[in-house]
Amino acid sequence: MDRIPILRMGEFLLVTIQVDMHDQLALTLQDDLTAQITRTGARGVLIDISSLDVVDSFIGRMLGSIASMARLMNAETVVVGMQPSVAITLVELGLTLHGIRTALNVEKGMALLRAGAARRSRA
């Protein structure tokens, strides 16, 4: 598999990472995702990493930069389902991913995105 599928759910995009992330895959995902945001006019991106057991600093940084890029394109990013071991690794690496929103599972992440979208449309 050389591409991670990006699913569209209403005005949000859903990315489920189920394979080991290597650097090239991460960069491809970054390209695809930004392209998709423009094409669909998505307001939010949900990245599910619950089946990811190992991360390195590159993947950690990549998640951060995806969030920053999405924000520039008016879409919010929520990372959901991070495993305890992954969280500990990222903290030990000094990557606390400021500016990324997190949730325990896809359901809660979706609720977070919807609440954010509702708030913004009201404003």
**Binding residues vs another protein (CB under 8 A):** 79-84, 86-88, 90-92, 96-97, 102-105, 108-109
**Of 37 and 79, which has the nearer Cβ to another protein?**
79
**Of 43 and 109, which has the nearer Cβ to another protein?**
109
Give the DSSP letter string of 88-119: HHHHHTT---TT-EEESSHHHHHHHHHHHHHH
The distance from CA 44 to its chain's CA centroid, rounded to whole angstroms, is: 9
Q: How far is the CB of 17 from another protein (least distance, A)?
A: 15
**Of 71 and 101, which has the nearer Cβ to another protein?**
101
Task: Write out the H or E segment, with its range, that includes residue 11.
Answer: none
